[in-house]
Amino acid sequence: MAVTTSYSILGVDRVAFLGRERAVRRRISLSGTYATGGFAVTPSELNLSKIRWIQFHGPATTGSAVSFPSWDETNSKIKLFTATGTEFSNGGATTNYTLDVTVGGQ
């Protein structure tokens, strides 16, 4: 089973406008198993037509386990890495991981 994501609003639902771009802040909750190459982030899930950037507010965490995110703009995916810099293991459980982000786009 691949990673599945759900999005929740962090605090007050604010959409900031930066010129022609919008920025939305969300908490991403993960479940399932990780596949090498990361998990897709779909603009429509965030009420955007295109994602231009993602800012991470700390690591992905379960409260005890930690992984470090990286945005793969080419493939529109978030990759997770261990503390040693290797990509999260293929088939590794992502259940209960959460990740706070601000996503910018149109």
> What tokens were used for 43?
């603009």
pTM metric for this prediction: 0.84
Per-residue confidence band for 7, with pLDDT thresholds at 50, 70 and 90: low
Cα dihedral 94→98→103→33 (10° resolution): 10
Q: Which domains are seen in the chain, by residue range?
A: 4-105 (2.60.40)
How many helices (H) and strands (E) in the chain?
0, 9
DSSP secondary structure string, 5-16?
EEEEE-SS--EE
Q: What is the pLDDT of residue 19?
A: 79
Report the pLDDT averaged over residues 40-62.
92
Report the pLDDT averaged over residues 6-23.
69
pLDDT tens figures, 54-94: 999 999 999 899 999 999 999 999 999 999 999 999 999 99
